[in-house]
Structure 1
Amino acid sequence: MTTIVHLELQLDAGRLEEAATVIRETLEATRAWPGNEGLEVIVDDADPARVVVVEQWASTADHDAYAAWRLTPEGAHQLAEIVVARPVKTIYSRRIPLDS
């Protein structure tokens, strides 16, 4: 079953142009990771320094493998340099059926 991950980031408002570059570079590896089915970054209309990375994964296991890799030296990234608060990650893997 598809898993959706939201990664909410509060960026340094004085570094938004640089942040866009760092996010693009970081997400290249995310997009290429096995099991990643797509991602996008959405920006809060009221606060352009608040963004949510919306990731779609083939399974929670695929995302978990990716997240574990990000904790290794090979998976290190520069997001910590552009955020001003701890990121908030929410994983959605269950759904409520809408048809009877």
Structure 2
Amino acid sequence: MTAIVHLDLRLDPARLDIVPALLNEVLAATRAWPGNEGLEVIVDDADPAHVIVVERWATAADHDAYAAWRNTPEGVSRLGEVLAAPGVKSVFSGRIPLDL
């Protein structure tokens, strides 16, 4: 079942100038990971230092494999260079059926 992942990030306001290039670098590996079906970065209208990376994965297991890789020396990224606080990740793979 498809999994949607939200990575809620609080960025260092003093580093916003390098964020686009750094995110393009970091997220290239995410896009290329097997099972990734796409991603986007959305910006809070009231606070440009608050962004959410929205990722779509074919399965939660695909995301789990990616997340495990990110915790290895080969998978470490430079994202920490622009964070003001640790990111908060939420994975959504369950659904509530709606009769609409």
TM more than 0.5: yes
Instruction: Please give the alpha-carbon distance, in whole angstroms, between the structure 1 residues aligned to 2:55 and 2:17.
Output: 22
Q: What stretches of structure 2 of length at least 5 have no aligned partner?
A: none
Whether 1:87 and 2:87 are equivalent positions in the alignment is yes
- Which whole-Å deviations, capped at 9, do the CAs of 1:45-88 have from their partners, x for residues lacking one? 00000000000000000000000000111111000110010100
TM-score by length of 1: 0.97
Moved over 2 A (4+): none
- Which whole-Å deviations, capped at 9, do the CAs of 1:15-56 have from their partners, x for residues lacking one? 112012111110000000000001000000000000000000
Partner of 1:75: 75
Q: What stretches of structure 1 of length at least 5 have no aligned partner?
A: none
Partner SS for 2:86:
coil
* Aligned amino acid, residue 53 of structure 1: V
TM-score by length of 2: 0.97
Partner of 1:38: 38
Partner of 2:7: 7
* Aligned amino acid, residue 90 of structure 1: S
For residues 28-67 of structure 1, the aligned pairs below 5 Å read 28-67=28-67
Partner SS for 2:20:
helix
State the percentage of identical aligned residues: 65
Question: What's the CA shift for 1:99?
Answer: 2.0
